């Protein structure tokens, strides 16, 4: 990947206060073979199941056609022709914003009927040249697609949201005409000025939360905000398991010592090797924050020391079901998950010496070989969280 910056992608969605499902849909995909990220936000008309189905249909089509490098107006035309049209308002049943990012090139944004995306360069609004394309064809004549293209810089952010944000507070005392894009921009600018390195999930959460406040805590529409943040990568190293050959103990210790970023050690044997090779002390704690797992230990120069395979197994389970509403505890696995989510580049160093403890047939089947568990975690991090992951076996 281009060394200039890491691209963090996240979104927060809140459904209409009378619904159980969100009529807005956000999907994103990282294409490592093409060095691209595509993110799509679609807002189905109305709310509830019907809106959700239409938004899923729209977002999926938008993603797939963008993957195929189709022309902007061609993408829009196909989507519009596929979507049903409201018989009363003669409007397509879903809106969309598509952001197509090439790691070493430009960003293209394509919009239909969503509030215009906000591009922040640091804490200032950056205005690229937007163009309007009028669609042709009987069904879509006169419909307008907006698009822009620009080269991103470090600390740029793209913030795009559904009209649940722009119209928050509509008909109320403070914002009788809705919060509006301009007020949302003022709020986003204040947040970034106050906290220049605010993460994508945090910024998205705060925008949706403020829209909810404006609505008197009863969202009158599905409300969603997506944020793409171009920034310095945050690096994390996780090492687990003793090296296959004893003479590699020193190599492992050097790699951990020299790593520029946060460090986690999973496994007592691995921690003992590092303590011996680096002449550090391990201090055990007795904080049983998770009844299923042994407590953490402390070591100078390492951010977190935990038990090995059981903890990594639990990390896998938490990542599988993780969503924006997940509340993490202080348990060892939860701490690892928090650090994984806050990191961009995650490096695993996996020792391949077989641990005799895991060969005991009386132990539960869940005690899988370390390599399998780590590969599962790596898969989840890449596919679900769009993280960059490297695995080194030693």
Answer for the pair 299, 239: CB distance below 8 angstroms, yes or no.
no
Contacts 24+ apart (CB under 8 A), 133-141: 133/72, 133/73, 133/76, 135/73, 135/76, 135/77, 135/80, 136/77, 137/77, 137/81, 139/80, 139/81, 139/85, 140/76, 140/77, 140/80, 140/81
Which percentage of the chain shows pLDDT scores above 90?
62
Q: Model's pTM, two decimal places?
A: 0.76
Strand-strand pairing, 345-350 and 235-240: parallel
Tens digit of pLDDT for each residue in 158-177? 999 999 999 998 988 788 99
Rounded CA gap, 343 and 338, in Å?
9
Helix count and strand count (H, E) for the chain: 10, 18
Domains of the chain: 6-231 (3.60.40.10), 235-393 (no CATH)
pLDDT level of residue 46 (50, 70, 90 thresholds):
confident
Average pLDDT over residues 73-100: 76
The dihedrals phi and psi of 209, each to the nearest 5 degrees, come to -65, -45
Give SS3 for 138: coil
């Amino acid at each position: 990947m281009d060394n200039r910056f890491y691209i963090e992608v996240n979104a927060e969605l809140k459904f209409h206060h009378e619904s159980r499902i969100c009529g807005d849909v956000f999907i994103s995909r990282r294409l490592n073979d093409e060095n691209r990220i595509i993110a799509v936000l679609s807002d189905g008309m109305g709310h509830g199941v019907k809106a959700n189905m239409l938004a899923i249909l729209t977002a999926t089509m938008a993603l797939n056609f963008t993957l195929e490098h189709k022309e902007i107006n061609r993408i829009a035309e196909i989507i519009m022709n596929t979507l049903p049209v409201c018989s009363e308002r003669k409007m397509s049943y879903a809106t969309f914003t598509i952001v197509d990012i090439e790691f070493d090139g430009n960003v293209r944004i394509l919009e239909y009927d969503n509030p215009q995306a906000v591009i922040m360069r640091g804490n200032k609004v950056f205005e690229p040249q937007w163009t309007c394309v009028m669609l042709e064809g009987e069904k879509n004549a006169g419909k307008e697609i907006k698009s822009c293209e620009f080269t991103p810089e470090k600390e740029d952010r793209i913030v795009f949201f559904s009209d649940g944000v722009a119209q928050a507070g509509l008909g109320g005392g403070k914002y009788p005409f809705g919060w509006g894009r301009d007020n949302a921009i003022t709020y986003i600018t204040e947040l970034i000025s106050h906290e220049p390195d605010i993460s994508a999930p945090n910024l998205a959460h705060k925008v949706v939360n403020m829209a909810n406040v404006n609505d008197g805590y009863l969202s009158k529409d599905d409300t969603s905000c997506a944020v793409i943040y171009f920034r310095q990568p945050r690096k994390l190293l996780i090492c687990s398991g003793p090296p296959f050959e004893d003479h590699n103990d020193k190599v492992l210790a050097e790699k951990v010592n020299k790593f520029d970023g946060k460090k986690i050690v999973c496994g007592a044997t691995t921690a003992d090797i590092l303590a011996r090779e680096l002449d550090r002390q391990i201090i055990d704690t007795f904080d049983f924050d998770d009844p299923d797992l042994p407590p953490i230990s402390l070591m100078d120069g390492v951010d977190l020391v935990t038990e090995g395979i059981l903890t990594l197994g639990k990390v896998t389970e938490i990542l599988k079901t993780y969503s924006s509403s997940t509340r993490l505890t202080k348990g060892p696995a939860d701490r690892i998950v928090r650090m994984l989510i806050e990191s961009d580049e995650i490096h695993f160093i996996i020792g391949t010496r077989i641990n005799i403890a895991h060969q005991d047939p009386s132990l539960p089947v869940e005690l899988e070989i370390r390599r399998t568990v780590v590969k599962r975690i790596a898969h989840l991090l890449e596919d679900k969280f769009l993280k960059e992951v490297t695995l080194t076996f030693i």
